[in-house]
Structure 1
């Protein structure tokens, strides 16, 4: 066996991996290597559990979430397996411990009143950029999906919006050169390809527009060129300030849509499919938090079925 450093193994792994993953995924791998893995392990020839566990605790102390750290370890494990396959290093099993999290941070959503207020304002103050926010609050689309939405994705005959692409700015590292690039991609996962029915109100807004717009144009710009998420996020922020809304991240519009669905007693599987989640547990963990009243109802219902 010829021992190589993690840096040398990572260089060879990058060349092998590049043709098989999406450009945006590859860019994410490069950032993780550059910012986290190589500074800590670049000159090492082994990845023992003790060293990886120390790395995890250090990153948690630096303010990284457990989810982000797990993503880093996925890349580290891929590099290690590649090194083992080529007989450049030994394989190590890790059983990494994460300190228990005290409480789940509650997601921020609009109140029903503010949700309605934004929809009403956009209905009375139409612009193509405003329409994107209306679509988000009525369908739960992600910001990248909204920015990549074309008029051809809106079918007024079936009354549906089809999600089939997303747009993002990625950080590209090529040797010593680094730059960012705007890329239009297929959605996040297979489940993110989806058809969503439009509400009557949304359909009444887009129906007359569909007669005059160019199907190849992007909805937000009504032009051949899209707007990018960062620009649209800034526009949204200014609009919310204008409407004197509480500060809420753009992703909060998607959370607000999902929360309204759950509050309306929509079944969880349907909500999960509309949101394009890869599995229903994501939806349950994010949005389903029964309160004491719901728990009591549930137990009473169960006892009633027993004739009690």
Structure 2
């Protein structure tokens, strides 16, 4: 074993190494977790015991963080500790961390079919480029960063396809202790998020005449060479929904609504997963496939019918 180092020193060395291999947005997310959670809890230590990590988990859950958020923090901690063990700065033993049972399941928020029709009809009757973005999200299930980054060049009205190739996000950077933010355009969340989505007939009918006269390099939401960023568009969306007296629904609810309508229409799950750009089909199944009582009864009846 070489000379031991403090956890904060190991994390700094791990950061410098990791920066070479991950996207800037991913690196930024790691840095925030380190700055806000890991260094304050473990930075001064020269080793980490399982009991320390378990106590950390309970504390973070008590502070109101979700299970997923805490697990994300632990992933970063494990990467840094494994890096330290590789260079013999500390000994790493895998943790067996317990999480309390989650008794409340978060329901996916979606628009009802009636409300979705109302929103889409309103956009058709009150066309603006920003309203168009809401219509596209309901028709194609794109994320807010993806719609903000969409240009007219990504819309192929000849073949009726939208190509999702970029995303816009505001990332936080920490440079010598100074926090700042910047807007960046990057490739989407994962390689699966780079995808082609067919347009329905109504959307295609709306876009075809515009595409003929528009600058193809302009962003769709602004009809300008400069895009809008997600937090600005989110604010616009909230005002839009209030105007229509719609339920309070996060912007991501538009994507959930698209996916739910696909599942309700008996689309096969793999196709829905590909349309959404999910990394694997289990994400789609866990989020959207919840059989109702009617489906359960039908399943039981079919099973007994088969054994009669």
TM over 0.5, shorter chain: yes
Question: Pairwise mapping of residues 237-256 of structure 1 onto structure 2 (< 5 A)?
Answer: 237-256=238-257
1:13-64 C-alpha deviation (Å, 9 max, x unpaired): 1111112111101100100000000000000111111111110111111111
RMSD over aligned CA atoms reads: 0.9
CA separation in 1, counterparts of 2:157 and 2:295?
A: 38
1:62 aligns with 2:66: no
Bigger drift between 9-18 and 217-226 goes to 9-18
Question: Pairwise mapping of residues 164-243 of structure 1 onto structure 2 (< 5 A)?
Answer: 164-243=165-244
- For structure 2, the 5+ residue unaligned runs are none
1:181-209 C-alpha deviation (Å, 9 max, x unpaired): 10101011111011000010000000001
CA separation in 2, counterparts of 1:216 and 1:81?
A: 45
Residue of structure 2 in register with 1:304 after alignment: 305
1:115 aligns with 2:119: no
CA separation in 1, counterparts of 2:240 and 2:255?
A: 17
Give 1:103 deviation, angstroms: 2.7
1:106-161 C-alpha deviation (Å, 9 max, x unpaired): 11111110000000000011000000000000000000000000101100111010
CA separation in 1, counterparts of 2:109 and 2:94?
A: 38
CA separation in 2, counterparts of 1:173 and 1:271?
A: 38
Q: TM-score, normalised by structure 2?
A: 0.98
Residue of structure 1 in register with 2:155 after alignment: 154
8 Å Cα contact 1:47/1:92 also seen in 2: no
Give 1:304 deviation, angstroms: 3.0
CA separation in 1, counterparts of 2:244 and 2:134?
A: 13
CA separation in 2, counterparts of 1:300 and 1:194?
A: 39
Residue of structure 2 in register with 1:283 after alignment: 284
Residue of structure 1 in register with 2:31 after alignment: 30
**What's the secondary structure of 1:94's corresponding residue?**
coil
Give 1:278 deviation, angstroms: 0.6
CA separation in 2, counterparts of 1:132 and 1:164?
A: 16
CA separation in 2, counterparts of 1:202 and 1:144?
A: 20
**What's the secondary structure of 1:76's corresponding residue?**
helix
8 Å Cα contact 1:81/1:91 also seen in 2: yes
Q: TM-score, normalised by structure 1?
A: 0.98
**What's the secondary structure of 1:173's corresponding residue?**
strand
CA separation in 2, counterparts of 1:305 and 1:140?
A: 38
Residue of structure 1 in register with 2:107 after alignment: 106
Q: List structure 1 runs of 4+ shifted beyond 6 angstroms.
A: none
CA separation in 2, counterparts of 1:164 and 1:305?
A: 47
**What's the secondary structure of 1:211's corresponding residue?**
helix
8 Å Cα contact 1:167/1:229 also seen in 2: yes
1:143 aligns with 2:144: yes
